[in-house]
Each structure stands twice: as C-alpha cells, then as structure tokens.
Amino acid sequence: MSEEALALARPSGDPVAMRDALSARLWASLGPDAIDERLAVGRELLALGEREQSLLLTMLAHDAAFGAHLLRGDLEAATRALAAYGEAATALKRPAFVFLATYWRGSLALARGEIDAAETCFRAALARGRGTGPVRALHVPPGRMYPLRYLRGEDDDPELAAIFFGEMIALPYSFEPAIRTSLAFVGWLRGDRGEAEREFERVAVRVEQGLERDEHWLMTVGGLSRLAILLGDTARAASLYDRLLPYADLMLVHDQLRAVGEPVAAMLGALDAFLGRFDAGVAHYEHAMAKATAMGVRIALIDVHAGYARLLEARGDAASAAAPRSSEMRRPGPWPRSASVATGCSTRGPRVGAHARRRDSREAGGRRPRRSRPARGSSPSSGATSAPTARPASPPCGQACDHANGATEREGPAGVHRRSGRFTCDDVLPFRQAAPPQSREGLADAMTAAPAQGNVPEPVRHMLAAIAPRRIGRNSPQIRQDFFAARPTVGASKGGSPCVTT
Amino acid sequence: MQAADLARRLGRADLLARAALGYRGPAEMGTPSDPPTIALLDEALAAVGDAFPVIRARLLSRMVGTPPYSGQHGDLERG
C-alpha cells in the first residue's frame, strides 16, 4: 500500500502527496528487513523538509535514522539522530513529539546501562505526555519501568506488571507479541513454568505461522529464543536460530519502543551453546562482545559475558570462562552514576548518600531497608531516601519535569491505579530505593544462574555469588491474573477510559 | 460525513476522497480502530480508481497510517 502510494506520488512531485507517502513508507519500513530503505526514506524526507521548509519532515527524517542506526548497533549515530529529533520536536512545540524524544532518551540511557537516567527520562516523558501526548504516553513510560526495576534486582511490582503486561498488550496498537514474550519470561522467573510455557507457545506458534516481521518481530523472536533455551525446547531453539541468523549483525531492538537488547549474535551464541554447537557459538559471542563493547551497551554486555561464560563452561573451558565476565567486573562499577543522573527531575537529589548507607548496611549483613511511601500530599522530601538538593539545570533527558505543576494524578482503568499519585515525578514508583551498583545485574543473574539451578559450573557460581539474589517473582502471581480478570478493555469505547486520549 | 454524502450525491469521486482525507486523521498508535474512517477511505479508494493518482497516493498513505505523526501533519503545516 505504501509502496503504491510512493510510486504514485513520486512522478507527481506533489509535496503533500510525497509527504504522506514517505511518512507511510517510513511506518511500513519498521522492522529488520528494510533498514537501508528506511535510511533512504529518511534522506528523502530530509531533502523534502528543506525544500518545503518543514520542520516536521526534518524531524521524521531523524526518526527514520534513529531507528535504523539503533538496529544496526551504531549508538553514536542513533544518539545524534535523536538529538536532532529532539531539537526539531522542541522547536515544533508539540507535546506528542516532545514526549517521544524524552521517552526515547530514556531508552538510550537504559541501553547504556544508565538506569537512573532512564528512570528520570521515563518519568519526565510521563509528565510530558500526560493529557497532551499520544495514547501510549500513559502506558509506555511506566511500562518500561517494570524491566528497569528488574534490572535493579528489585521486587516484583504488581501495578507495574499490570501496566507492562496488561495495558500495553491491551492497547489497540499492541506491543502484544513482544510483551507476551516478556510475560512468558517473567512467568518463568516467578517459577511458574506452566505460564511460561503457555505464553511461549502462544507466540511461538504465530512466529512459525509467519508473524509479520514488523517492529515487534526481532525483539519477539529474540525473547522466544531465550525462552526456548530456558524451557529446554530444542526443536524450537533450532527453528528460532534459523529465523534469527539472517539478522546476526543487528541488535535486538523493539523498533517502536526503541528498547535495545543484546546483539542478535549473542542470542545466536546462546542458541548455539544450547544446541551444542560450541564453535559456532564462540564465533557469535565474540562478534556480540565486540559489538556490545563498541556500542557501550553495558547491560547487554554483561548479558553477553554471562552467556559466553556459560558456553565456555559447557564446552569445558573453565579457565576461559571467568575471563569475559571478570573483565567487565573489574571496571569501576558497571553503571557509574553521576550527580546529574542521580538527581534528574527529582527534588530528592542525589542518592549517593543513600546508596552508600545501603551498601554499608549490606556489607554489614543488614537487609536493604524498605522505603516507606510518603502519604499523599506530604512533602516529597518526606520519604526515607530524601536528600533535598538543588535541581540540576539540565536533567539527563534534556527535559524539565513538570512534577511541580500540579500534575499529580494518574488515572487509569478502574481498579488498576487507584493510588493516583503513584506516577508523579516524585513518587511515581519506589525506584528511589535503588540497589547498590553491584546488585544491578539481575539480568545476568537470572539468565545465567536460574536455568541451571543446582547445576551451575563452579566458576560461574563464584561470579554469581557477587550478584544480588533474583528478587522478581516473590510477589503473588495471582495479582496479574486478578488484573486481567478485572481490567476493562482499554480504549474500547470513546470516553471509556480516562487513560485514552483521542 | 456530510461532505462525503454531498460528494456521493454529486457523483464526484475526487470530492469523496477529499472528504475521506479530511474526515479524521489516521489513528495514533494506541487509538482504537475506527471502522467508519476505514470504510470511508475504502469507498473513496474504490471511487477514485486510477483517475486521480495524487489523491490515490494520499488515500493509500492514510490507509497505512503513520502513527504517531499521522493526522497532525495538516495542523502542523498550517501552523
């Protein structure tokens, strides 16, 4: 459809038709198969934008480049494209685009392992999007906080789970295949193998039947590959391997959320290891390590190292197994924080002191203290981690948070977000209770240790001993079930859900 | 819809197409599907056939939908 539109518009030279057709083509070129074309569309949009003096078209062009560079693993180019997009969005003064720029900055920060900065940007995006931005503005930033919490090794959060799995799946434009794959993974993390298998099966069958290779596909198939390994499904692992192989040089990216995972090569390496093809796995992991290192995607890099270590262990090369992980561990903190990152848009200020206290407490064998939630209407500085400081002039997401502008309510589907102040900037989520840096390797922990519980090779076990215990899944799995039972259909009717902005 | 009705009565495919393009912007990601809009676009596409390539290109583009930008182009360009 979009190809025909562009073919018709091009000879006409009509700028409006070209604008519409290029925009449509850009949308249709999301996913892993048309990256070159997307970049070409971006260049054409840029030229048209200059000719027509259209900032919007210029911004679209940068959007095209941003996504394409992310898929290719060129984080530098992606960052530049996003900066240009953000400039154009700011100049246009359209909340929807400012929201996207802010949210995508959070995605990039998360890719780099700057978890606090990501949180700041997601909060700011939520504040920007509330009531003015696109429908997803109310769902995506809090939804993305769920895996963020997981990366910190923090407890499961039923409300976030409800948003991440419930609302994002229920959106008419659905992230459903990718989110459902995550749901299967979390089911597995929660120890509910039955749920993991059910959700895995639901998506895997669709992939085999030819699930469209759109913006969801790569992340979905990557997630399924991980699950095939965890669930011990060799047939599916082999099949998924074949599907991923053509994309070995790309990154696992959700092409709309712009959520960045590991290199596809790392997943291929993991599948190789699972299938006993160790030499091929080594090659894939070496490729993945080089790519992740060059990109500076630290979370992915740790994941790659952990997987590579497991492969080497499985191959019987114990001496080599410690090397890739320990090289990463020797860095001065996988996720060094800066004051500007820590403060972001919060009035609570840097958490360095709080971190230090918790670290001290942990080293002394104490439990991490739970932060008590301030009562509604109380001062934001009344929380347990309060350390009021001046707000930085320039938050890492580049957007000023409007938490002080009275945006303190977050309505949601009935029964889901009754605690409406939960998603304000200061008290959105209990992430202010951040884990000390050495405990933020929940991903490596879960990916590496859990699938082989009781059978973890000793060197790997030793490495994992330094990693915080996996915490997600301790809360009731019933919560999600209850949510699905009680959840009204989001956006099913006009005026139905206050979460839907049309 | 009123414009579409008038275009139908006049037998003007080009005007029907313009009514369809002006009826409602394409859905932003997350917006519920809108069968009346889709139906109108379908009807307009069938009506214009190959007679109006530029309009057809725009109808097709609208059908594709380009969230989150779609539906806001016009406003932005006018602004």
Q: Assign B60 a pLDDT band (cuts: 50, 70, 90).
A: confident
DSSP letter (8 states) at residue A349: -
Can you give the pLDDT at residue A350? 28
What is the reported pLDDT for A202? 92
Query: Between A136 and A325, where is the model more confident?
Result: A136
Which pLDDT score is estimated for A108?
Answer: 93
Among the listed residues A358, A351, A354, the one whose alpha carbon sits nearest the alpha carbon of residue A337:
A351
Please report the number of interchain residue pairs, chain A to chain B, with beta-carbon separation below 8 angstroms: 116
Query: What is the share, in percent, of chain A residues with pLDDT greater than 70?
Result: 57
Q: Closest Cα to residue A284, out of A354, A208, A225, A353?
A: A225
A256 band by pLDDT with thresholds 50, 70 and 90: confident
Q: What is the pLDDT of residue A113?
A: 85
Asked whether residue A266 carries a pLDDT value surpassing 70, the answer given is yes
Task: Count Cα neighbours of A58 within 13 Å in the Cβ-side half-sphere.
Answer: 18
Closest approach of B8 to chain A, Cα-based (Å) = 23
Nearest chain B Cα distance for residue A218, angstroms? 19
Whether the CB of B2 is below 8 Å from some CB of chain A: the reply is: no
For residues A249 and A26, the model is more confident at: A249
Tell me, what's the pLDDT at B32? 52
Q: Of the spans A18-27, A98-107, A242-251, A448-457, which averages the highest pLDDT?
A: A242-251
| Pairwise CB contact (< 8 Å): A21 & B60 | yes
- Could you tell me which residues come within 8 angstroms of residue A111 by beta carbon, excluding any fewer than 6 positions away? A75, A260, A295, A297, A299, A300
Min CA distance, B2 vs chain A (Å)?
A: 21
Q: What is the pLDDT of residues A399-442, one digit of tens each?
A: 333 332 233 333 333 222 222 222 222 222 222 222 222 223 33
Rounded CA-CA distance A83/A62 in Å is: 9
* Of A287 and A212, the one with more pLDDT: A287
Lowest mean pLDDT, pick from A205-214, A284-293, A296-305, A410-419: A410-419
Residue A234 clears pLDDT 90, i.e. is over it: yes
C-alpha A143/C-alpha A136 separation (Å) is 10
pLDDT at A37: 93
| Higher per-residue confidence, A126 vs A292 | A292
> Model ipTM?
0.76
- Find the mean pLDDT for residues A247-275: 93
Return the residue matching tokens 């400012």: A98
The nearest alpha carbon in chain B to A491 belongs to: B32
Contact B27/A at CB under 8 A:
yes
Nearest to B30 among A6, A56, A173 (CB): A173
**A5 and B76: CB-CB below 8 Å?**
no
Token pair for A352:
């360095």
- The alpha-helical segments, DSSP class H, found in A316-418 are 318-329, 339-343, 352-363
Report chain A residues whose CB lies below 8 A from the CB of B58.
Answer: 5, 9, 16-17, 20-21
Tokens 């992980």 label which residue?
Answer: A325
Average pLDDT of chain A, as a whole number: 67
**How would residue A284 be classed by pLDDT, with cut points 50, 70 and 90?**
very high
Tokens at A461, concatenated = 């076990």
Distance of CA A335 to the CA centre of its chain: 16
Say how far apart CA A195 and CA A169 lie, in whole Å.
16
Shortest Cα–Cα distance, B16 to chain A (Å):
17
Ranking A12-16, A312-316, A418-422 by mean pLDDT, the lowest is: A418-422
Point out the least confidently predicted range of A39-43, A120-124, A460-464.
A460-464
Q: Which phi-psi region, left, alpha or beta, contains residue A110 (left: φ > 0; alpha: ψ -120 to 50)?
A: alpha
Residue of chain A whose alpha carbon sits nearest to that of B68? A134
Q: Is A155 left (phi over 0), alpha (psi -120 to 50) or beta?
A: beta
Q: How confident is the model at residue A25 (pLDDT cuts 50, 70, 90)?
A: confident
How far is it, in rounded angstroms, from Cα A131 to Cα A35? 33
User: Hey, is the C-beta of B69 within 8 angstroms of any chain A C-beta?
Assistant: yes
Give residue B25's pLDDT: 60
User: What is the predicted pLDDT for the residue at A168?
Assistant: 67
pLDDT for residue A341 is more than 70: no
CA-nearest of A334, A258, A319, A328 to A289 is A328
A320 confidence band (pLDDT: 50, 70, 90): low
Measured between CB atoms, does B78 come within 8 Å of chain A? no
- Chain B residue with CA closest to A1: the answer is B60
pLDDT of residue B64: 77
Answer whether B58 sits within 8 Å of A16, measured CB to CB.
yes
Residue A95 confidence (pLDDT) above 70: yes
CA gap B4, B47 in Å, rounded = 12
Tens digit of each residue's pLDDT (9 = 90 or more) over A361-390:
443 444 433 333 333 333 333 333 333 333
Contacts A24 to B, Cβ<8 Å = 60-62, 64-66
